Amino acid sequence: MGQGHSRSRHQGGIAFESTMQQKSKSKDKSKVDPVVTEIVRNGVIAVTEEMKTNLMRTAYNIIIYEALDFTTGLFTADGKTVSIGIGLPMFIRGMAETVKAKIRHFGRTNMRPGDIYVTNDSYLTGSHLNHVTLTLPIFHKQALVGFSCCMAHWLDIGGTLGGMTTDIFSEGLQIPILKLHDRGKVNTTLIEVIRQNMRLPSRAMGDLRAQITAVKTGERRFLELIDRYGRHEVLGAIAAIMDHSEAMARERTRSIPDGVYEAESYMDDDGIDIGKKVPIRVRAVVQGDEMTIDLSEVSRQVRGFYNSGVTTGYACSQVAYKCLTSPTDYPINDGSFRSLKAIVPPGRIISAVRPAPMRWWMTYPMTIVDTVFKALAPVIPDRVIAGHHADLLIAALHGINTKTSEFFLANFGPLGGGWGAKQSEDGVSATVCINDGDTHNSPSEQSEVKFPIVVERYALLPDSGGAGRHRGGLGVERVVRARVPMTFNTQVERAHCKPWGLAGGGDATGNEVALRLDGRWKSDFPNAKVLVAMLKPGDAFRLRSGGGGGYGSPLDRPVADVAADARQGYISLAAAEELYGVVLDPATFAADLAASERLRAALRAAPPRRREAQV
C-alpha cells in the first residue's frame, strides 16, 4: 500500500480509505509572519499560473494551448499539494499521488538537482495514457524543498485508433516511472522509444519540451520566492496556509447537519453491453466537522473503456467536497481535505485495476460528483446545483488531408452544455462540464484552418434547460461537415440519464449524436456512442449537449422572466405555456397575465407530472 492510504475491511474485501483527515502538525505557528504568509499565498498561485502560461505558449497541440487540457502544480517535499494551476479539477488527486509514487520509487535520498521524472501510468494517475506527467524535484542549497509537476494531454499516445478498447494494452504506450533527465542529462533512449510509438512524433516531442519548460518555470520561480523571503519562512507560510484551509473547510462542514445522505443515478451503458445501465450510488456521512464520502456502491469496473483509477475515485470526493465547503479558498491545497475521508474499494469504475481499459476515463466521475450534490441537496439546498450535462461531447476525427497528403488526427471539443440551476439563480449555458473545469471549447475558425472540416452550425438549443423557478442552462448544437473522407468516433454518455431537476424543477434534455449520410440524417442510435463511422465529403455529424436541470417549481418563475426567456429564444412559446403556465402573445411576447394566472391555477390543481425539457 502506498503512502497516503489506509486499509479497512469492507464487505468481505479490502477497501481503500484516503487519509486526508490527518490533523495539522505545524509547529511554531505564532512565529509565522502573517504578511509573508499572504505574499506566499499569492506567490505560489502566481507560480502555477506562470507554469500554465508557459506551457500554453510553447505546446504544439491545440488540445493543450487552446483547450487547456492540462494541470500544473507545486508540492511539498513529501508530496502534499501546495497549489494547483487548475485546468482539470479531476487532476487534483492524480498529480499528488503521482508525485508521492515517484518519491517511493526513487527514494528522497536518491533524487538529485537536474532530475525530471516521467510516467503516464493510468492506474497511478487515475486517467488515460494520454496524460503524461513530468515531475521535477526542487532543491535549495542541496535540500529537497518541493516538487514542480505538470500533467498534460498528448493528442496521440499510440494504440488503437477509434472503436472500443477492452484492455489497457490496446490504448497506447505505457511509460512506467522513469528518469527523463538524470542530473540534467537527457535520457535519449527513452526519447527515441516515445518518438517511435507516436503517429505524430514532432507534435509529441514539442509537447514534451513544453512540459519541461513548465516544470522548470515552477522550479525557478519557487526558488526565487525562497531566496527572497527565506526557506524557513516560505515553508512555514505554506504550512500555515494549509492549516487555514483546513479550518475553513471544517467550519463549513460543521454547518451541515449530521447525518447519512444517499443518492443514486446511472450511466447509459459501457459501450459494449448496450442498454445495460451502469449504477451510481453514493453515500455522504457528516459528523461534526468531518465528512466521509463512501463510493463503495458505485458499479464494478466495466468491460468498456470508461474506467478510471483509484486516484480519480479520491478526486470525485475531493471535487465535490471542495465545491461544498471551500470553493473560493485559494490556493487549492491538501489542507482543504484533511476533514474528508473517501472510501473507494478497488475494482470499481473509479478504482479499476489492471488491465481494465481507461481511454475514456473522464466520463463517469463527473456524474458521481453530481450525485454527491444530489445526496446533500435536502440539507444544504443553497450550496448545490441540479444535474448538468456531464459529458465532454468530443468528436475524434482522423484521415488523410487530400490538400496536404498528410495524416491528421483531431479531437474536436469539448462542446460545453447546460449546468444545473441553483436555489438562487439560473444555470449557466454552453459551459464545459465539471470534470474539465477551466478547459475551453475549440474555436470553430481555428479548427477549420487546421483540419479539413466546416462548422455549419454552432448554437444554443432552445428548450434544452430543465424548467424551474430557476431555469437550467441551455445545451449547444454543433453541426460539422467533412471536406475529405474521414473516420468519426464519439463516446458520448448521458443520453438516457437526463440531468435531473431539484426541489420540483424539471429534467433537462440528454446528450445526442446524429450523422448526415448522403444528405439524410440518422439519429436512431441506441445510445450516443458512435464508435466508428466513415464520413465522405459532404457528410456531417451533429452533437447536441444536454441542458441543466431546473430548480424549484416552474409555476413559481416570475412571468416577466418567462417572457424574457421566450423573447431571447431560450424557450419556445409552447414550453412557456405547457411547462411554466405563461400565455404569451406570439408576435410581441407580451404576457396575458389573467390567462396565465388561470392556467397556472389549473396546472397546480392537476396531478403532478415530471416536467422535462424537450427540443
Tens of pLDDT, residues 281-295: 999 999 999 999 999
In this prediction, residue 6 carries a pLDDT of 38
Average pLDDT over residues 354-359: 97
pLDDT given at position 612 = 56
Question: For residue 490, what pLDDT is reported?
Answer: 94
- The predicted pLDDT at position 255 comes to 97
Q: Inform me whether the pLDDT recorded for 613 exceeds 70.
A: no
Instruction: Indicate if the pLDDT at residue 12 is higher than 90.
Output: no
Sheet holding 529-535, edge to edge: 406-412, 395-401, 486-491, 529-535
* pLDDT given at position 436: 76
Nearest to 215 by CA among 44, 40, 50, 45: 50
487 DSSP assignment = E
Classify 393 in phi/psi space as left (phi over 0), alpha (psi -120 to 50) or beta: left
Query: What is the per-residue pLDDT for 20?
Result: 58
Nearest Cα to Cα of residue 468 among 418, 432, 433: 418
Query: Residue 1: which pLDDT band, with cuts at 50, 70 and 90?
Result: very low
For residues 512 and 494, the answer to whether their CB atoms sit within 8 Å is: no
Residue-wise over 106-123: b if at least 16 C-beta within 10 A, else e?
A: beeeebbeebbbbbbbbb
Q: Do residues 522 and 493 make contact, with C-beta atoms less than 8 angstroms apart?
A: no
Which of the pair, 439 or 117, is modelled with greater confidence? 117
- Asked if 63 contacts 155 with a C-beta cutoff of 8 angstroms, the reply is yes
Tell me, what's the pLDDT at 373?
98
Judged against a pLDDT cut of 60, whether residue 280 lies above it is answered with yes
End-to-end CA distance of the chain: 50
Exposed / middle / buried, residue 572 (Cβ in 10 Å: 0-12, 13-18, 19+): middle
Average pLDDT of span 218-234? 97
Contacts of residue 427, defined as CB under 8 A and 6 or more positions apart, other chains included, come to 385, 386, 388, 418, 419, 420, 421, 465, 470, 471, 472, 473, 547, 548, 549, 550
Q: Is the pLDDT of residue 115 over 50?
A: yes
Residues 225, 238 contacting (CB under 8 angstroms): no
What is the band of 47 on the pLDDT scale with cuts at 50, 70, 90?
very high
* Distance separating alpha carbons of residues 221 and 49, to the nearest angstrom: 11
pLDDT at 169 over 90: yes
Query: Residue 4 above 90 pLDDT?
Result: no
Write the DSSP symbol of residue 417: B
pLDDT-based confidence at residue 3 (cuts at 50, 70, 90): very low
Q: Is residue 49 over pLDDT 80?
A: yes
pLDDT average, residue stretch 223-240:
97
Q: State the chain's mean pLDDT as an integer.
A: 92
Q: Are 385 and 374 in contact (CB under 8 A)?
A: no
Which grid coordinates are listed for 374? Answer: 444530489
Identify the pLDDT of residue 24: 47
28 has pLDDT over 90: no
User: What tens digit of pLDDT does each residue of 378-422 get?
Assistant: 999 999 999 999 999 999 999 999 989 999 998 888 899 999 999
Residue 413 to residue 247: CA distance in whole angstroms: 39
Q: Provide the 8-state DSSP code for 470.
A: B
* Distance (Å, whole) CA 85 – CA 533: 37
User: Rounded CA gap, 464 and 451, in Å?
Assistant: 30
Using alpha carbons, list the distances in angstroms from residue 29 to 119, 332, 559.
37, 20, 56
Mean pLDDT of 118-129: 96
Q: Is the pLDDT of residue 27 over 90?
A: no
The torsion angles phi and psi of 21, rounded to 5 degrees, stand at -85, 5
Cell reading at 540: 456531417
pLDDT tens readout for residues 542-595 = 999 999 999 999 999 999 999 999 999 999 999 999 999 999 999 999 999 999
Q: What is the mean pLDDT of residues 496-517?
A: 97
Assess contact for 428 and 420: CB atoms under 8 A: no
Q: 3-state SS of 254-301?
A: HCCCCEEEEEEEEECCCCCCCCCCEEEEEEEEEECCEEEEECCCCCEC
Average confidence (pLDDT) over 48-62: 94
Q: How many CB atoms sit inside 10 A of residue 525's CB?
A: 16
Using pLDDT thresholds of 50, 70 and 90, give the confidence band for residue 7: very low
What pLDDT, on the 0 to 100 scale, is given for residue 90? 80
According to DSSP, residue 419 is labeled: -
In this structure, of 73-87, 169-183, 268-282, the range with the lowest mean pLDDT score is 73-87
Question: CA 385 → CA 269, 404, 420, 422, distances in Å?
Answer: 24, 47, 5, 5
The distance of Cα 576 from the centroid of its chain, to the nearest Å, equals 33
Write down the number of H helices and E strands in the chain: 13, 22
